A and B are shown apart, each in its own frame.
Chain A
Amino acid sequence: MTALPLTLNLWAIAICVLGVDFALIAKERLAPRVLAIACCAAAALSFLGGAVCLAVGPSGDVALWTFPVIGSITIGTTTMGSWFACVAALVYVPTSLFTLRYLERYADNYSLRAFAIWYCALLAAIIGLFLCRDVTSFFIDWEVIAIASALLVAFEWRHVRNARAAFLMLGMSEAGTMAALLAMLLARSGSLWFGGPPTVLGGALSWAVFLLAFFGFGVKAGLLPINSWLPRAHPLAPGNISALLSGVILNVGVYGIVLVNMMLAPSHIPVQGLVVMVVGAASALVGILYATIVDDMKAMLAYSSIENIGIVITALGTAFVFTAVGQPLLAGIGFAAAMYHLANHSAYKGLLFLGASTVDMKLGTRSMNALGGIIRVLPITTALFFIGVLGIAAIPPLNGFVSEWMTFQALLRSAELAPLTFRVTFALCGAVLALTAALTVTCFVKVFGMSFLGWQRTERPKTSEASRSMLLGMGLLGLACLALGVLPTYVLPVIGRASTAVFGSDVVTGTLVPPFFKPAAGPAPLPADFVATFHALGAQLGSWLPGRGLVVMLRGGAANPVVFAMSTTYLCLIIALLLLITYGLVRSVTRARRAERSKTWTGGMTHLPSEMTYTATGFSNPVRVIFDAVFDPTEVENTRETIHHHFRSAIRRTREDVFLSERLVSDPLTHAVRSAAAFLARMHHGRLSAYVGYALGTLLVVLAIASAAQP
């Protein structure tokens, strides 16, 4: 036990506070620099602190002050908190670098000083949240996050839409906070401290805590059906803030769910896990459906965040179920998949948001229907964006593949569950996620193919590649995507450390990254020829490298020694090798021949205007048509105009796709509240006799209750 992680984190917070101070006193134009230096340093320190904590274990809790009623304010590091802090820092460092030059676009209209202050404050609050060890400090910190992020969303406050989106975000966040607070108080009756053994709650109370916490924190995490704020706030926030919202703030919601439902009062009813899975899978599908049909690049990424958090939550759900039925090792797979996907999502979504913001900044639009051929003006941005696209589309050996593969493996472990309903739910969630994965590819083929490749569709400003600090920010995230993809066996032990906070021991490393040649005590030894094959491939690297091997695998019994195995590390090598061989073959076979290169065959049209090429909407229209029942669009306009009776002059069609959660939950709710308010307002018509009547009625009711209460 060492206090070093805590110290590092406190230093990080101190630097953030310093950043706020400097931003207040420094010249406005220096604000971006203050922000970048302070936040990079603070996030790096926080990352270091988290890493040390994960390496050597948590520090003890420190009670700072004690107040009457609310008790002690306690801080301390945990392995779980450290994991989330590391993931947050992974996004924060590159985003802060990116922000340095990105803020230029707002310099004329908005206060950069204010931006720097809220940005630093948000980082401080996020680092702090993972240190909070009691309900009071947790919720105070939580509120700071909510307010700071809402202010950042409303940064371009002159647009009324931004202010509205920020209010909606804040309002929904507060409602969720109330539910979550209630859940925490119920979970830990008597103590506000997070420490001590987990409580085991009775049936009804367990359900109450589970539902309140899951949906309360689910608002922050962007889960269906309580995420109508998300598609409104993310696209309107400044680009770098969108990256943080998706890469950090959503994770905070997941942290809340893990904290309450896995650590403080662990869910022990399997059906709760199924609820988690179903909500996760539904979020994933609905998220990606909307992502596929929208044409605003940032809105698409926002909906895609719903999808990714959905996958995280589905994987987490399997962990819930397996924990509840007493299969901690299998729960470990689900938990590892969830945490891995969380980190992956932060990395590639951060990268994609920064890329989309670069495009927006340089070309002045985010509409995929207007963009096209970006590769010719922003080649490096395009290359980096492509890494993110490969990652999110789960193309091996990039990072998305690893965690989605593990999620599917966790779902396939339903074979170990007895009740049929469980198996069916697992199978259905698996099917939904498979559909989601296919749609994800469609969605990102669309964004990359329609915007970055293809023809220039509209007039665009003359522009040049993004500045070096912006590219560095995106490059770091691209590197993270590659590393998370190619080196899963080095990431999983880290998640294993984090899992000790939930399961009491490391349930991941031993299960998924077993020592390769040392036959473990439990499972049957590997067959000799299998070992020989992998030996020849160099799997023994694990014996002298700091890792354990380069294959993620689950070992089974004698009949089935290897349940599943996967190695993106080898896959990467093999892909590289195959590409090399193919290139060599093609070169050697066609050396004598010249490749024919000529223009695309366009049916004999010599001048093909860009309006004659597929638009992004056209590309995704089949999805829109097939899933019309889900979108249930409102036809705003459908008119046909003719002149001189017969000459069609215009066909105007506009349709509005209102987001499912908004259409089915928020809107009816708002409507109901409004009608109730209108009904109540009718009681206040100002006639004296009526008010006297109300007073009398109230008196009678009180008397009746009082007399009934008499023993």
Chain B
Amino acid sequence: MKNWFLRGLAAGIRTERLPDGNVSTALSPGLPKTTEHASEEQAKALAAVCPTDAIRAVGSIGEVDEDRCVLCMRCKGRDGQRWRRDVTWAHAANANSQDPLESSFRKSLHVRIIDAGDCGSCLNEVAQLNGPSYNLHRVGVFITPTPRQADVLLVVGPATRQMRDALVAAYEAMPEPKRVVAVGACAASGGVFGPSLMSAAGVGEIIPVDLVVPGCPPPPHAIIDALRLVCGQTKRAVHK
């Protein structure tokens, strides 16, 4: 045991500063953003490339619905498509979404993660949050095993039908005040899976969602950003 302790000390501090601005593709794949193209044809061509209709051509503007983007990378190599490189991706799910939690949660937020059909990459990114590089605890966020003690339900996956009862049960088991953060394209819009026979068009169909983090998967920094936002550590306008 002593050896492990010393090994831990010898490794030094590996925690990195939270990014403020753009980051490289090592940390985040980025997201395509609404672009004004040279021509209507070019916008239409890009919209045609997009398999999930995340890009919609309105005149020469390629409007991007971030929630629908599954990061297939097919528009990336194309000319003209612009990408956002920051990690402040979280936004309010809809007009009814609640405001951030009150100030008493700012330094201590407990999160229950629900896997409602996730492919594993969102969950893996969430798992990275506890790693030394991200060190989620420094922002006062803790992952708890029971929704009874949770302030935030972090849902990943497209809310498959066989997980819906469990999802609703977890939501109902949480005490007020509570917030729901939908993480990933599937939770936001159904992604490549939904809406379909077995998947919903996002978690919002099943339980009220407050914050949505798009991306397939959203990088750890984007998830931290959402959690800081929901407990009021950072503030910005989240309603579109």
Name A's B-contacting residues (CB within 8 A).
596, 598-599, 601-602, 604-606
User: Bound complex: CA of A604 vs CA of B176, how far in Å?
Assistant: 19
Docked-complex contact A599 and B166, CB < 8 angstroms:
no
B216 to chain A, nearest CB (A): 25
Kindly state whether residue B175 has any CB partner on chain A within 8 Å. Answer: yes
Q: Cβ of B165 and Cβ of A604 under 8 Å apart?
A: yes
Q: Report whether A604 and B146 are in contact in the complex, using a CB–CB cutoff of 8 Å.
A: no
Residue of B nearest to A600 (CB): B173
**Interface presence of B40 (CB below 8 A):** no
Say yes or no: A601-B148 contact (C-beta < 8 A), given A596-B175, A596-B176. Answer: yes
Contact with A along B126-165 (1 / 0, CB 8 A): 0000000000000000000011100000000000000101
Does B192 make an interface contact (CB < 8 A)? no
Q: Which chain A residues lie closer than 8 Å to B173 at the CB level?
A: 598-599, 601
- Of residues 80 to 115 in B, which have CB atoms within 8 Å of A's CB atoms? none
Q: Bin the interface of chain B by size.
A: 10 to 19
Q: Is B172 an interface residue (CB 8 A)?
A: yes
Q: Is the CB of A601 within 8 A of B146?
A: yes
Q: Which of B146, B147, B173, B176 has the most CB of A within 10 A?
A: B173
* Across-interface contacts of A605 in B (CB, < 8 A): 166, 169
* In the assembled complex, B170 has its CB within 8 A of some CB on chain A: yes
Q: Smallest CB–CB gap between B114 and chain A, Å?
A: 8
Chain A contacts for B165, CB-based, 8 A: 604, 606
Q: In whole angstroms, how far apart are the Cα atoms of A692 and B175 in the complex?
A: 96
Nearest-neighbor residue (CB-CB) of A593 within chain B? B176
A604 touches B172 (CB 8 A): no
In the assembled complex, the CB of A592 is this many whole angstroms from the nearest CB of chain B, namely 13
Q: Report the Cα distance A273→B190, complex, angstroms.
A: 80
With contact pairs A601-B146, A601-B147 given, residues A606 and B169 touching in the complex (Cβ less than 8 Å): yes
Q: Hey, which chain A residues are within 8 Å of B167, CB to CB? A: 604
Query: Within the complex, which residue of B146, B163, B172 is in contact with A598, where a contact is CB–CB below 8 Å?
Result: B172
Classify the secondary structure of B's interface with A. Answer: helix
Instruction: Return 8 A-B CB contacts under 8 Å, by A number.
Output: A598-B173, A601-B169, A601-B173, A604-B163, A604-B165, A604-B167, A605-B166, A606-B169
The chain A residue sitting closest to B163, CB to CB, is A604
B175 / chain A contacts, CB cutoff of 8 Å: 596
CA A488 to CA B172, docked complex, whole Å: 50
B residues near A602, Cβ cutoff 8 Å:
169
Q: Which residues does chain A contribute within 8 Å of B176, judged by CB atoms?
A: 596
CB of B172, distance to nearest CB on chain A (Å)? 6
In the complex, A299 Cα to B145 Cα: how many Å? 40
Q: Which chain B residue lies CB-closest to A595?
A: B175
CB distance from A590 to the nearest CB of B (A): 13
**B147 proximity list for chain A (CB < 8 A):** 601
Known contacts A601-B146, A601-B147, A601-B148; decide if A606 and B166 are in contact (CB<8 Å).
yes
**Inter-chain contact B166/A604, CB cutoff 8 Å:** yes
7 nearest CB pairs, A to B: A604-B166, A606-B165, A596-B175, A601-B173, A601-B148, A604-B169, A601-B146
Chain A, residue nearest B165 (CB): A606
B residues within 8 A CB of A598?
A: 172-173
Tell me which of A596, A599, A601, A605 has the highest count of chain B C-beta atoms within 10 A of its own C-beta: A601
Q: CA separation between A606 and B176, bound complex, in Å?
A: 21
Write out the residue numbers on chain A whose beta carbons fall within 8 Å of the beta carbon of B148: 601
User: What distance in Å separates the Cβ of B175 from its nearest Cβ neighbour in chain A?
Assistant: 5
Distance A596 CA – B174 CA, assembled complex (angstroms): 9
Separation of A596 and B148 alpha carbons in the complex (Å): 10
Determine the residue in chain B with the shortest Cβ distance to A607.
B165
Which positions 169-184 of chain B face chain A at CB distance < 8 Å? 169-170, 172-173, 175-176
Chain B residues with CB under 8 Å of A604's CB are 163, 165-167, 169-170
Report Cα–Cα, A598/B148, bound state, in Å.
Answer: 10
Query: Residues of A contacting B172 with CB < 8 Å?
Result: 598-599
Assembled-state Cα–Cα distance A596/B175 (Å): 6
Nearest CB of chain A from residue B191's CB, rounded to whole Å: 22
Complex Cα spacing A606 to B165, Å = 7
**Nearest A residue (CB) for B167:** A604
Rounded to whole Å, the gap between the CB of A91 and the closest CB of chain B is 46
Distance A599 CA – B169 CA, assembled complex (angstroms): 9
Alpha-carbon separation in the docked complex, A605 to B162 (Å): 11
Smallest beta-carbon distance A1→chain B, Å: 70
Question: How far does the alpha carbon of A666 sit from the alpha carbon of B41 in the complex, in Å?
Answer: 99
In the bound complex, how far is the Cα of B176 from the Cα of A596, in angstroms? 8
A302 to chain B, nearest CB (A): 40
Which residue of chain A has the shortest Cβ distance to B172 in the bound complex?
A598
The CA of A590 and the CA of B146, in the complex, are separated in Å by 24
Q: Which of A598, A599, A602, A605 has the most CB of B within 10 A?
A: A598
